[in-house]
Amino acid sequence: MYALVIYDVSSNEKRYNLANYLKTKGLTRIQRSAFIGRIPPSTLLDVERVIPKLIDGSIDVVHVFQLYDTAIQRLKVFGKPLAEITVEHGVMVIT
């Protein structure tokens, strides 16, 4: 399973902490406020438990999507991405 996390966080400090946390969980930044990566379901549950503690829920928003292989295989990127994403043998490769 893959996770896609997209956020709009107003505080620089909270945004920095959220981005660093997502990196520690194996997600890769694909846009300034978007991370994606293959993670086990237990890690996704951890992410979903921790995110509310890292943001101000009264003004910030974070969307967490579970994506399965078929969605990743159909992924299309237009323009110049922050990270190159390809699918090889059904596995997403981010460089």
Q: Is 8 annotated for ligand binding?
A: yes
Scored b (16 or more CB within 10 A) or e, 51-81 reads beebbeeeebebeeeebeeeebeeeeeeeee
Nearest alpha-carbon partner for 91 in 31, 3, 2: 2
Binding residues: 8
Binding residues for Mg(2+): 8
